[in-house]
Amino acid sequence: GDSVTQTEGPVTLSEGTSLTVNCSYETKQYPTLFWYVQYPGEGPQLLFKVPKANEKGSNRGFEATYNKEATSFHLQKASVQESDSAVYYCALSVTGGYKVVFGSGTRLLVSP
């Protein structure tokens, strides 16, 4: 079946340093790829999505490129802030987007 694997957390960084969270996926179909962010006590919020291979998505300084050949969708940010502390989920959706398959989540802790 479809699956998503991502960096196991927690990832602890200092403000101003760079972030990479690895994400790889498996599916026999043509997925749309997502990054979601979840803050304590809330549901996941869409950070951005990329429906097509070889395209890049970005939002709030975060970005990821849909690499079909490598089946990867790594999340990057050049300079993290304390407010970026949250859990980040890589996810995919096929069959018209009715079902979202989430990775296990990566907790990011940014210290000032």
Question: Least distance from C-beta 78 to other proteins, angstroms?
Answer: 27
Binding residue for other proteins (CB under 8 A) from 27, 53, 102, 107?
102
Q: Pattern 77-96, binding to other proteins, x per CB under 8 A?
A: ------------x---x--x
Distance of alpha carbon 36 from alpha carbon 54, whole angstroms? 19
Distance of alpha carbon 28 from alpha carbon 33, whole angstroms? 14
Q: Pattern 27-66, binding to other proteins, x per CB under 8 A?
A: ---------x----xxxxxx--------------------
Which residue in the block uniquely carries the two structure tokens 């975060």? 62
Nearest to 10 by CA among 108, 111, 112: 108
Interface residues with other proteins (CB under 8 A) are 36, 41-46, 89, 93, 96-105
